[in-house]
Chain A
């Protein structure tokens, strides 16, 4: 019996040492140590032996079992380490292959900049109002102090549906519609599409505008300057050069044109700023008493300012786009850049 056991251990250890992989070791484990394994069946035979023989052989059996188990554990462990090493060696990817990208779209640059402008004014407590794009002559012109047969109408070449109905040339009619239904104090922006009969490198027959206005007691021209400086600094950058110069808009008086330092040449003079060092960025002014008359506001009590900013122009400046028509051609090679 003892010889059998020693023989068994010797065989087992030899086979284990020769084992080439994890599966053989597992097989050998079952063969020797399994429920029906060789060592197990010998153990069963032990019970038939006399007490003292049983004890000494039992100890031997246990020792053999322990040694085999140890050997098997070490082998399995070694194989598993080796396996992992092998798999790391063989699992090398070409990481320069392009990644698997879910399709991703983009928001139109004009909408993005429009959103930026809206957010700035929402942050300053302005409300957002909207109005129709097809407007009555009254709201688009007359109520804004632009009577029929006034040369100021030449400033905005208009698309007409009929004599009285037109495509709004600015979002200023929203001013009238809003003021007709609300009383001061008010702070409002009116974003939207506007239409002018014009088409070249810097004009398209449709473009986007944000009109803003604020009416209360004691609003001054200085306030208009202050607010627009805050707006332009938020939209561009904090130290941007800004200047105000007189201009003419029938709906405001005094009227101002607001320029920023050229973003391209920083004031040295270039093609974009036509060598002036400045870029026209928005029009503004104190709301004209005639406009207040149209909405039955007492212009001796209230004052206010209004301003209008063209979104395409700002977008072009921000991204260095030199042809406004690109915005509406919708070539994907253009849109995917934003």
Chain B
């Protein structure tokens, strides 16, 4: 809500700086988001009168005027055609500064010296008209600065009004609040009933309210003999400063009154109202209305309308219709001022997708008791500004009078919720300043508060507690520390898994990314989930964000692409976030951890190998992750059927028999579709399943007391034999004295048949009870060689008795 300081001053004395006012408003719950100073960019322009106009001797389109400011006469060259002798115009003399920092100087124009310039609205920054010289009223004071004359030097406060305070969607409401904060009185407009035509208004219009619970008050007045024309400049300017476009004097008056009181009004052309009838009712299916914005709107029976004998003439509380619009021919006006049920207006406004200054106020709630003065003020302004003749009285349909809620207030309860020690007298004083009526109660320690009709937000005691706190100032409420029993805190296994995973992955070179939970349908499809499983947003912001993620890795691929496009070439990223799968009502949400690697293993560096990452990099990362989380019992099973992964370079991860995720090279077809040239490797695992297996404290194992003996075996085997089976088999022979089996070389290529592979393993023998002898190890080792040869048909290449005693 924009509020002019000058306008506010009509209702409350403000003798401090706008910044100070802004500070007090902000600190009492009306955040001032900015202060705009208007009318300051024009300096030294004054009112002058045109004494004569002659043709320019050297230019057909120019004229030479003589003007006066009462003190002196000036010669001005001018190109506009709208001026006449006697017109009052804005005159800029040397030294004047116009908007955009234009400095006025004495200059010759086509051979005639011009002492200055007479200006258009556009040149003064006051309007859009640049063709015509701005002409003031004939009674303007010669020589007066145009600021002063137009009253355009002002400060506009941009105040954020919270939804609970619609009473401050008008100048008077804000002034009332300032009065309450500062303790100064609120000034009222001097009521000038003026003269009126005492014909019986009730015979001129019939008002039927079919929706008494929706339209709780409907008041109408009639003004005759109006002249519709542009508004006087001050009115246009004032509306413009408050963000409303001037239209004509009648419409401008209704807007002015709305800005002043926060109560919307509507003006109908009385003579265009069919059968002189107003009916407040729901639209009928099939009816339509062309609203003032020129759009024809089909209506349904949920939309409340104002109708005449022929059909809807306005969308109740939202916007008027074209059929009864005020125009140049309008002579008689019917003014409408009403109270509509906030929720109903909000529903209708949303249903129609149409909101206005009017609906904005109605859906928050207007002052049902304040309607009389508002419509009187509008009628008065019409008679003043549009030459209208007011018909006495109004038609006021207001069957159920407003009854304020009676709220019990207990001083102790106020103080115990706020943690204060405010005396009852101070509390009462604060409430009274806010226009709240107080009564005594028979109950001890309690009094009764009756809020005014414009404070619809005050319904119960806590609302009053807030008012007390607000006017006491939050800054004056002492801060204390809550008393609480010391209690154990638990972070939860899931958060611990996530935090540990973050540490491990970032330690191993992965950057954490955060992607949106919603992705494009095409991104969702990368994961090859059944499309019916997609959870779509009803109202996405863009095509790129329409469905909730079923997996994280498609987003990682998008992130990869984004980075490749920005020349970031070696990528290790991970993300921890939720995935969504449809279920009965709410979707199932699963926490996933996903990672992606791409490009060089070490980046471009003079002293590191320039290898590209491969499958075993991603596998190693996941192995590190499992290790760091102390998850045992993990196994990788080669799988050929994960559609978005390379069939020969992918695996499922199992924790015991629980499938916990997958790793692998992204399928070349998937990469091609994304225009990614080199191989990318991904993993995605379930943090939920991880959290079930994760051990915050792995048990300590004693450091061995006895030395180990290590023996290496080098052998050639069929590629079809999975390596994993070899150590498994060895360990199964006698796990007691075999501590470890490590693979330290794999080779295929020259000297090895195509379907074969050469491997080298090192077996560590150790007993936890005694020192093993060479003989027993040799004996056992020969058995292993024998068994491996028999079982796997391996061919032993070299048996190095690489004995290391530790």
Contact = CB atoms under 8 A, between A and B. Distances in A.
A37 interface: no
B408 to A, nearest CB: 12
B766 interface: no
B507 A134 contact: no
Contact of B163 (A160, A248, A256): A248
Contact of B540 (A97, A159, A230, A327): A159
A332 B571 contact: yes
Contacts of B514: 108, 110-111, 327-328, 330
A226 B479 contact: yes
- By Cβ-Cβ distance, the 4 closest A-B pairs, closest first, are A222-B419, A103-B509, A220-B419, A246-B29
Interface stretch (A11-19, A42-50, A78-86, A120-128): A120-128
B771 interface: no
Question: Interface size bucket, B side?
Answer: 35 or more
Interface string B666-703: 00000000000000000000000000000000000000
Contacts of B503: 107
B563 A132 contact: no
A248 B165 contact: yes
A155 interface: yes
Contacts, number: 253
B516 A206 contact: yes
Interface in A206-257: 206, 214, 216, 218-223, 225-227, 229-230, 243-248, 253-257
Interface in B440-480: 460, 462-463, 465-466, 469-470, 474-475, 477-480
Interface stretch (A20-28, A61-69, A192-200): A192-200
Given A248-B29, A329-B562, A330-B562, A254 B470 contact: yes
A151 interface: yes
B481 A230 contact: yes
Contacts of A218: 416, 483
B135 to A, nearest CB: 39
Contact of B563 (A111, A155, A223, A330): A330
17 contacts: A105-B507, A105-B509, A107-B502, A108-B513, A128-B492, A134-B589, A159-B538, A216-B484, A222-B478, A225-B474, A225-B479, A230-B481, A246-B27, A247-B29, A248-B163, A248-B165, A254-B418
A100 B517 contact: no
Contact of A98 (B462, B474, B606): B606
Given A155-B163, A223-B480, A332 B563 contact: yes
A77 B478 CA distance: 82
A303 B416 CA distance: 10
B369 interface: no
A125 B489 contact: yes
B663 interface: no
Most chain-B Cβ atoms within 10 A of its Cβ — which of A106, A155, A246, A333?
A246
Given A125-B484, A245-B31, A274-B33, 7 more contacts: A130-B494, A205-B545, A243-B27, A246-B470, A253-B463, A254-B465, A303-B417
B517 A331 contact: no
A331 B479 contact: no
A221 B418 contact: yes
Residues of B contacting A: mostly: loop
A151 B474 CA distance: 25
Contacts of B502: 107, 111
A195 B577 CA distance: 14
A260 to B, nearest CB: 14
A70 interface: no
B224 interface: no
Nearest to A254: B466
Interface string B418-456: 111000000000000000000000000000000000000
Given A246-B466, A247-B29, A274-B33, A106 B489 contact: no
Nearest to A278: B26
Interface in B18-35: 26-29, 31, 33-34
A214 B481 CA distance: 12
Given A218-B416, A226-B479, A253-B463, A136 B586 contact: yes
B418 A335 contact: no
A150 B559 CA distance: 39
B484 A248 contact: no
Contacts of A104: 506-507, 509
Contact of B469 (A149, A254, A327, A328): A254
B70 to A, nearest CB: 41
B446 to A, nearest CB: 14
